[in-house]
Amino acid sequence: MITIKLRPGQDLNRAMMKMKSLLIIEDLFADLKRKRYFTKPCIAKRLKSKEADRKNKKEERRVLRSIERAERNE
């Protein structure tokens, strides 16, 4: 559970911004967006697979860039 304690005289807008950032960090906004509509299990599996592929490709690119940097520095 997310709690934000306000001190006397603390700006309410600042506290709201802090709460929003905590919600983003906790991934609650994405969860609410995902649960807004029902997703069929077969489509959920397909989306999960595509996301995993995307992450793997991104990791491969990152590793290749680090190898290229290491080769340039030698």
Q: What is the DSSP string of 24-59?
A: HHTTHHHHHHHTTS---HHHHHHHHHHHHHHHHHHH
* pTM of the shown model: 0.55
29 within 8 A of 23, measured Cβ to Cβ: yes
Q: Over 80: is that where the pLDDT of 1 sits?
A: no
Handedness of CA 23, 43, 45, 56 (dihedral sign): negative
Q: What is the pLDDT of residues 21-63, one digit of tens each?
A: 988 888 888 888 888 999 999 999 999 999 999 999 999 999 9
CA distance 33 to 73: 44
Q: Which residue has the higher pLDDT, 46 or 11?
A: 46
- Mean local confidence (pLDDT), 6-35: 88
